[in-house]
């Protein structure tokens, strides 16, 4: 049986159990602070995650472009590398700002949670800061200022190390997040009741981590590829550099199609893994209140939510839910009501069902948008094969508009992951309501939320303006560049 850690009052008495009314609603007596803190963290996390996948994906694609220039000597690829490098730099700069705001919340609104997980998260987060972030930032600076100063091979290595650093940063963050979904590699301190890391290998071989991290990398490749495709498509339509941007469009399509197909497959396997460790999350994603075997998947539904256990399901696909949850067309999916009874028996009175409406629709928005992107990429590859990609205006227009699709998918996926874990902040160990700071008032959270939202609006506006200007700018001019060899300048001579 998992340990359920709860805060205690100054007299050492355990917190009172949910009343029947609060259990039905799913809230505790600190409903105001908990919901405000959750809303603030959701806003900052989602906002920060708008920039992270683009950084990872774009760094990889720019490294590919520069590699093609290094191998072929074709100046077009060098110009494309510097062009898309501006977009990468803008995105990283804004992403760092949003990341700092996100970290600030741990000590402000979630101090109890920070104390509880500190002995576990300390190692991976230190690795992220001291290794991955400094690797990424150091070699980004070398790459940015190394044009014409470093040899081509060294300069190319710099951008690849930027891409590796960005991917490593995500790895350490996802290892911590996956531990929240499926705690492993720890022991409980008998005196404090808090988990302490005793097996870092178990954290990095956590099945939830392996699948979710792979999924994030593939989603990042999709995000970067769509951004590159959208910008290239606009440039082909509007500028006279269509032939050059056709090269970047082909690179993006070559990355986009396999990445989105693999992302969908890995996402499916992640669902099977989560059905093992977080069955409530998967049952809520289908609004499956009663246990079934085999189980159908509904394309849409009318109604639904936590107060509607009998929604009208439209276009039910037989056996599909069983396959998605168990990899078997005859697999059993335990219903929400049965899981609620199990959790009450294991953890005590409470309401353990997440927001079913958010869970149901997040899953479908992500899956349906991904299917549309896969179709777009497939059409693009077909037009490329026919040699009509540059002339097909309707496809170029759709590709430009598709720039919003990765943000829709990534946000929906993040909601699916984090909402589905509720009411736990650490699955089976700590409830979300027990992780909030007791010394922070609702008024203080509202004030900080207003400040954060103001900053986000300003920063987001700046990002849109800068990215739009950079995306619509002209390619850098062709310029002769040395191979990084130090050029000997004549030494000054002393004359009389």
Contact 410, 49 (CB under 8 A): yes
> Each residue of 77-110: pLDDT tens digit?
999 999 999 999 999 988 888 877 777 777 788 8
User: What's the pLDDT band for 22 if we cut at 50, 70, 90?
Assistant: very low
> Each residue of 404-424: pLDDT tens digit?
999 999 999 999 999 989 899
| Ramachandran angles phi, psi of 183, nearest 5° | -65, 125
Tokens for 300, please give them. Answer: 């849409």
Least-confidence region, from 48-57, 97-106, 249-258, 339-348 = 97-106
Mean pLDDT, range 454-466, rounded to an integer: 91
- What are the angstrom distances between the C-alpha of 150 and each of 65, 132, 153, 159, 495? 18, 22, 8, 12, 34
Within its chain, how far is the Cα of 304 from the centroid?
Answer: 27
User: What's the pLDDT band for 157 if we cut at 50, 70, 90?
Assistant: very high
* Cis, bond preceding 394 (omega within 30 deg of 0): no
Contact 277, 427 (CB under 8 A): yes
Tokens for 360, please give them. Answer: 């149901």
* C-beta atoms surrounding 45 within 10 Å: 16
> Each residue of 245-279: pLDDT tens digit?
999 999 999 999 999 999 999 999 999 998 889 99
Residue 376 has pLDDT above 60, yes or no: yes
Residue 300 has pLDDT above 90, yes or no: no
Mean pLDDT, range 276-305, rounded to an integer: 88
Residue 217 has pLDDT above 90, yes or no: yes
Among 338, 341, 323, 356, which residue's Cα sits nearest to residue 290? 338
Mean pLDDT, range 42-56, rounded to an integer: 89
């Amino acid at each position: 049986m998992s340990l359920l850690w709860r805060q205690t009052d100054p007299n050492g008495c355990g917190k009172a159990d949910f009343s029947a009314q609060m259990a039905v609603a799913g809230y505790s007596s600190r409903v105001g602070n908990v919901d405000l803190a959750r809303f603030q963290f959701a806003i900052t996390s989602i906002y920060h995650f708008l920039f992270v996948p683009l950084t990872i994906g774009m760094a990889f694609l720019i490294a590919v472009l520069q590699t093609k220039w290094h191998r072929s000597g074709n100046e077009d690829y060098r110009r494309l590398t510097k062009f898309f490098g501006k977009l990468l730099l803008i995105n990283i700069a804004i992403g760092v700002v949003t990341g700092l705001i996100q970290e600030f919340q741990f000590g402000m609104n979630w101090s109890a949670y920070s104390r509880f997980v500190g002995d576990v998260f300390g190692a991976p987060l230190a690795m992220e800061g001291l290794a991955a972030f400094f690797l990424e930032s150091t070699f980004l600076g070398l790459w940015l200022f190394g044009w014409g100063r470093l040899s081509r091979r060294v300069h190319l290595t710099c951008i690849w190390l930027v891409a590796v650093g960005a991917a490593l940063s995500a790895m350490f963050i996802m290892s911590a997040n996956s531990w929240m979904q499926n705690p492993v590699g720890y022991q409980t301190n008998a005196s404090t009741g808090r988990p302490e890391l005793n097996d870092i290998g178990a954290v990095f071989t956590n099945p939830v981590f392996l699948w979710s991290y792979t999924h994030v990398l593939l989603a990042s490749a999709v995000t970067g590829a769509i951004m590159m495709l959208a910008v290239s498509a606009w440039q082909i339509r509007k500028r006279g550099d269509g032939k050059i941007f056709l090269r970047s469009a082909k690179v993006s399509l070559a990355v986009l199609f396999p990445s989105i197909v693999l992302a969908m497959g890995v996402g499916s396997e992640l669902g099977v893994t989560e059905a093992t460790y977080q069955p409530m999350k998967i049952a809520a994603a289908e609004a499956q209140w009663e246990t079934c075997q085999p189980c159908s998947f509904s394309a849409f539904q009318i109604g639904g939510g936590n107060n509607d256990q009998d929604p009208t399901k439209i276009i039910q696909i037989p056996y599909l839910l069983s396959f998605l949850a168990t990899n078997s067309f005859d697999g059993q999916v335990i219903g929400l009501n049965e899981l609620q009874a199990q959790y009450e028996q294991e953890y005590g009175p409470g309401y353990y069902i997440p927001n079913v409406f958010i869970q149901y629709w997040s899953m479908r928005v992500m899956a349906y948008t991904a299917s549309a992107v896969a179709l777009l990429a497939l059409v693009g590859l077909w037009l490329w094969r026919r040699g009509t990609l540059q002339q097909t205006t309707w496809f170029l227009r759709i590709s430009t508009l598709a720039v919003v699709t990765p943000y829709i998918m990534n946000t929906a996926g993040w909601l699916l992951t984090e909402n589905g874990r509720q009411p736990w902040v650490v699955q089976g160990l700590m409830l979300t309501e027990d992780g909030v700071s007791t010394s922070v008032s609702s008024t203080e959270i509202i004030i900080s939320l207003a400040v954060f939202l103001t900053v986000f609006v300003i920063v987001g506006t700046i990002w849109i303006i800068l990215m739009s200007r950079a995306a619509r700018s002209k390619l850098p001019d062709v310029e002769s560049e040395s191979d990084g060899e130090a050029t000997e300048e004549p030494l000054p001579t002393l004359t009389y």
